[in-house]
């Protein structure tokens, strides 16, 4: 066969690097960075540069789900079934449960790894056709606090900065993020910028001294969960030093006086006590922040995965508003997305509390606008269940059917005991997946084979609001279908079984191509903050584009709020007068360690792809709990000794390892290993898998994002 090259996008992190896929038309044979893609200019990290190997690995090919399968009953071996029979059964079961118990008896749990087009159809299926807002996504575990923080302060879920700002900053402030491992190509850009400008300072606030922290001019090893106090402490010092931009505050914001009164109490001594850091280090950070003419803050899960997630995000944005460090080259708060398309999912409203084009489910006008766009009588007013709530409701028997697409909640959600109970109790579970052997697949009544990277066609949006094309290089294997196609085929069958929703009787799902779906989404953005009515697939064929790009514009906008106007009713940003609150589960005598979780450089999520390639274990070969040398000695441990790690919800046995990154009384476990490698039991003896056997389901009250970054645990030699 002839060699072919296909330009596409890496399916891993939110940097959104462009790739060139080499194939022979049937098999992917190589991958390299796309030199013309503005996210990476040809660079790829270890994960991206081995994509072709994971696609071609025999073990991955064996792990693929190649045809629909059905279980006659729970515990039975799944048997092959035709697509028509599978989707007819799914439509019959959903229609029956909706008819008997109402639309909120079903739920959809989808993924930030779906493409924007997939997301759009699932969202319309739930909210437009069935009439339930019970659709949420693993992006809830990733970005929902950033969404809530932006909306609370700036008025819209729109990251104001862009990657190029790294080259214009005088100070880069990284909080709760480890881009050296989680966003490697962006980190290379930071390293380049420091080489080009030795005056560029780097301050890192992180409980661990990660590779990113080790490279910083100043590392603030704050105690887990104390970020709000840190940011308020910095603002207190900036006020004291006269480093506040009163003109900017006067012209472009509201609410500074209330915040000023709040931060008065966050004296350096008090903040040093709460955060467990040196007072001098805090003062140094404030001096650098105040003296910098352009400060760029990069942040990720350390802020988001917290019961104070929204407050942490808002408190950091406060610092930028108070100093006028926003809307200028090199300046602004910039949330980094964990997943490849958490942004695209937010854009189409694919979360329980959102609607298309950054509209709010709780807003009656927004619901009416979306109902008009879709041609349905209404969009339901009842709030949907967010990720953790959805599985808790299923465990109580309130949600009776779950449709899970492209994600593995039986490993990735906190409090695994409840998740497993939920999946067992559900009357009908559909799992739509590329891979057959995930922990969640073992609960499926129906398993539907989906396409994956290298086969899919559509779009994704990266952290800097840049929409890129994802293109197929090879045909789907076996009977696998695209996620949007599966959702459309199911939705059309369900339409025939439920009372017609469209007033003109036409189908709500007339799509034959991903472009047709994207065009409908594009129209829904008209006049909104993310207006892309000037964008088209044809334009994206030429180059990826940032939003907004309204009709008539020739290119997207690199950074937002340059004119000081914000998408609020009066155009002014709002300071959030938030207070510091401790973690949900503080350490105590019974559980004396603070457990945090996170990513390794060379692995991705539940390892369904990266876990298949031996060379990606060269960096870290096996799961372990990392501890400070002092704690290792106190517990009588040597590297490799097995320990029993227990929280109030479950326990695991795994090796312990001394780490120079972890502070005393803290423990760190990577998030990747699950069922086959890291199993344990719940407090009541049920089997549970991976680090989320230990984590807490406690959520931020505003974003409903769970506190995956902190749980109290005890550790003892096994
Ligand atoms: Fe892929 Fe992220 Fe690596 Fe880029 S930095 S190659 S998007 S994993």
| Partners of 712 in beta bridges | 594
Compute the CA torsion angle 109, 114, 118, 122 (nearest 10 deg).
10
CATH number of 4-56: 2.20.25.90
Ligand 1 centre distance from Cα of residue 368 (Å): 39
Asked whether residue 156 carries a pLDDT value surpassing 90, the answer given is: yes
pLDDT, one tens digit per residue, over 212-256 is 999 999 999 999 999 999 999 999 999 999 999 999 999 999 999
Q: Identify the residue whose C-alpha is closest to ligand 1 atom 2.
A: 13
As to burial, measured by CB atoms within 10 angstroms (0-12 exposed, 13-18 middle, 19+ buried), residue 370 is buried
| Enclosing H/E stretch for 670 | strand 666-670
pLDDT, one tens digit per residue, over 378-427 is 999 999 999 999 999 999 999 999 999 999 999 899 988 899 999 999 99
Mean pLDDT value across residues 186-201:
97
Mean pLDDT value across residues 431-441:
92
The residue with greater pLDDT, 416 or 307, is: 307
Say whether 671 sits in a helix, a strand or coil.
Answer: coil
State residue 1's pLDDT score. 58
Ligand 1 centre distance from Cα of residue 485 (Å): 27
Chain position carrying tokens 């400008």: 197
Ligand 1 centre distance from Cα of residue 9 (Å): 9
Give the pair of three-digit tokens for residue 374: 């879709």
Question: For the chain, how far is it from start to end, CA to CA, in angstroms?
Answer: 56
State residue 676's pLDDT score. 61
State residue 150's pLDDT score. 98
d(CA 493, CA 129): 11
Model confidence band, residue 56 (pLDDT cutoffs 50, 70, 90): confident
Collect all residues with Cβ–Cβ distance below 8 Å to 76 and sequence separation of at least 6: none
Averaged pLDDT score across all residues of the chain: 95
Model confidence band, residue 171 (pLDDT cutoffs 50, 70, 90): very high
Ligand 1 centre distance from Cα of residue 107 (Å): 31
Which pTM was predicted? 0.96
- Determine contact, residues 112/345, Cβ cutoff 8 Å: yes
Compute the CA torsion angle 549, 553, 555, 556 (nearest 10 deg).
-30
Ligand 1 centre distance from Cα of residue 673 (Å): 20
Ligand 1 centre distance from Cα of residue 184 (Å): 7
pLDDT, one tens digit per residue, over 160-169 is 999 999 999 9
d(CA 191, CA 212): 10
The residue with greater pLDDT, 202 or 58, is: 202
- Determine contact, residues 348/26, Cβ cutoff 8 Å: no
State residue 3's pLDDT score. 87
State residue 611's pLDDT score. 85
Ligand 1 centre distance from Cα of residue 53 (Å): 15
Ligand 1 test: best mutation among 41, 48, 604, 610, most atoms within 8 Å of CB?
48
Atom of ligand 1 nearest to the CA of 16: 7
Mean pLDDT value across residues 186-202:
97
Ligand 1 centre distance from Cα of residue 113 (Å): 13
Instruction: Give the residue among 705, 686, 689 at the shortest CA–CA distance from 697.
Output: 705
Ligand 1 centre distance from Cα of residue 655 (Å): 29
d(CA 104, CA 124): 15
CATH number of 144-336: 3.40.228.10
Model confidence band, residue 61 (pLDDT cutoffs 50, 70, 90): low
Is the domain defined by 69-139+370-455+478-509 classed in CATH 3.40.50.740?
Answer: yes
Ligand 1 test: best mutation among 13, 112, 189, most atoms within 8 Å of CB?
13
State residue 117's pLDDT score. 98
DSSP string across 451-493? --TTT--EEEE-TTSEEEEE--SSPPSTT-B-HHHHHHHHHHH
Break the chain into its structural domains and give their ranges.
Answer: 4-56, 69-139+370-455+478-509, 144-336, 593-717
Q: Identify the residue whose C-alpha is closest to ligand 1 atom 3.
A: 45
pLDDT, one tens digit per residue, over 485-521 is 999 999 999 999 998 777 777 899 999 999 999 999 9
State residue 613's pLDDT score. 86
Asked whether residue 141 carries a pLDDT value surpassing 80, the answer given is: yes
ipTM rounded to 2 decimals: 1.00
Ligand 1 test: best mutation among 21, 32, 45, 113, most atoms within 8 Å of CB?
45
pLDDT, one tens digit per residue, over 642-695 is 999 999 999 999 999 999 999 999 999 998 888 666 666 666 677 677 899 999
Compute the CA torsion angle 212, 213, 218, 220 (nearest 10 deg).
140
State residue 677's pLDDT score. 64
Atom of ligand 1 nearest to the CA of 39: 4
| Partners of 653 in beta bridges | 644
CATH of 593-717 among 3.30.300.90, 3.90.420.10, 2.40.40.20, 3.30.230.70 = 2.40.40.20
φ, ψ dihedrals at 367, nearest 5°: -65, -40
Q: Which residues line ligand 1 (CB under 6 A)?
A: 10, 12-13, 15-17, 40, 44-45, 47-48, 183-185
DSSP state of 683: T
């Amino acid at each position: 066969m002839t060699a072919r090259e296909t330009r596409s996008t890496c399916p891993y992190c939110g940097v959104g690097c462009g790739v060139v896929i080499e194939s022979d038309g049937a098999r992917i044979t190589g991958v390299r960075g796309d030199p013309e893609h503005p996210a990476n200019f040809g660079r790829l990290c270890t994960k991206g540069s081995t994509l072709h190997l994971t696609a071609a690995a025999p073990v991955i090919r064996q792990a693929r789900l190649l045809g629909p399968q059905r279980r006659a009953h729970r515990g039975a071996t799944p048997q092959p079934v035709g697509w028509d029979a599978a989707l007819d059964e799914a439509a019959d079961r959903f229609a029956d449960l909706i008819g008997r118990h109402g639309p909120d008896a079903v739920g959809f749990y989808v993924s930030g790894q779906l493409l924007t087009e997939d997301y759009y159809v699932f969202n319309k299926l739930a909210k437009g056709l069935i009439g339930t807002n019970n659709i949420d996504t693993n992006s809830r575990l990733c970005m929902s606090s950033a969404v809530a923080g932006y909306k609370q302060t700036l008025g819209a879920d729109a990251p104001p900065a862009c990657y190029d700002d790294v080259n214009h900053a005088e100070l880069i402030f990284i909080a709760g993020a480890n881009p050296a491992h989680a966003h490697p190509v962006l980190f290379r850009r930071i390293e380049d910028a420091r080489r080009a400008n030795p005056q560029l300072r780097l301050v890192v606030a992180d409980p661990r001294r990660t590779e990113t922290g080790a490279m910083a001019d100043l590392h603030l090893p704050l105690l887990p969960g104390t970020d709000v106090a840190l940011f308020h402490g910095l603002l207190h010092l900036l006020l004291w030093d006269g480093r506040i931009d009163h003109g900017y505050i006067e012209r472009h914001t509201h609410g500074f006086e209330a915040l000023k009164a709040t931060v008065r109490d966050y004296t350096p001594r008090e903040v040093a006590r709460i955060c467990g850091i040196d007072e001098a280090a805090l003062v140094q950070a404030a001096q650098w922040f105040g003296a910098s003419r352009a400060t760029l803050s990069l942040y990720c899960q350390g802020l988001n995965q917290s019961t104070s997630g929204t407050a942490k995000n808002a408190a950091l944005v406060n610092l930028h508003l108070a100093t006028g460090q926003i809307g200028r080259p090199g300046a602004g708060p910039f949330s980094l997305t964990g997943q490849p398309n958490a942004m695209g999912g937010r854009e189409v409203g694919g979360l329980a509390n959102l609607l298309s084009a950054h509209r709010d489910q709780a807003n009656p006008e927004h619901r009416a606008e979306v109902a008009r766009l879709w041609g349905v009588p209404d969009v339901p007013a009842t709030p949907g269940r967010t990720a953790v709530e959805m599985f808790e409701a299923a465990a109580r028997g309130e949600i009776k059917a779950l449709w899970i697409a492209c994600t593995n909640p039986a490993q990735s959600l906190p409090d695994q005991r409840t998740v497993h109970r939920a999946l067992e109790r559900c009357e009908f579970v559909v799992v739509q997946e590329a891979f057959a052997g995930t922990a969640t697949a073992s609960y499926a009544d129906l398993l539907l084979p989906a396409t994956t990277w290298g086969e899919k066609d559509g779009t994704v949006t990266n952290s800097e609001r840049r929409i890129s094309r994802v293109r197929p290089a090879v045909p789907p294997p076996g009977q696998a279908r695209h996620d949007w196609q599966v959702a459309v085929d199911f939705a059309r069958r369900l339409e025939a079984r439920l009372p017609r929703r469209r007033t003109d009787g036409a189908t709500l799902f007339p799509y034959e191509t991903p472009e047709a779906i994207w065009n409908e989404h594009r129209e829904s953005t008209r006049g909104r903050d993310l207006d892309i009515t000037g964008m088209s697939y044809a334009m994206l064929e030429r180059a990826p584009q940032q939003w907004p790009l309204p009709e008539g514009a020739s290119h997207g906008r690199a950074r937002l709020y340059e004119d000081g106007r914000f998408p609020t009713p009066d155009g002014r940003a709002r300071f959030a007068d938030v207070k510091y609150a401790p973690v949900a589960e503080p350490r105590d005598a019974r559980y004396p360690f603070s457990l945090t979780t996170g990513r390794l450089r060379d692995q991705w999520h539940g390892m369904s792809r990266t876990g298949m390639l031996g060379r990606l274990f060269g960096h870290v070969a096996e799961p372990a709990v990392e501890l400070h040398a002092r704690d290792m000695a106190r517990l009588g441990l040597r590297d490799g000794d097995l320990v029993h790690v227990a929280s109030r919800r479950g326990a695991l046995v795994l090796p312990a390892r001394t780490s120079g990154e972890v502070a005393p009384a803290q423990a760190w476990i990577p998030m990747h290993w699950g069922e086959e490698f890291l199993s344990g039991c719940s407090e009541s003896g049920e089997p549970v898998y991976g680090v989320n056997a230990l984590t807490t389901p406690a959520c931020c009250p505003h974003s409903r994002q769970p506190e995956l970054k902190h749980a109290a645990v005890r550790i003892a030699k096994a």
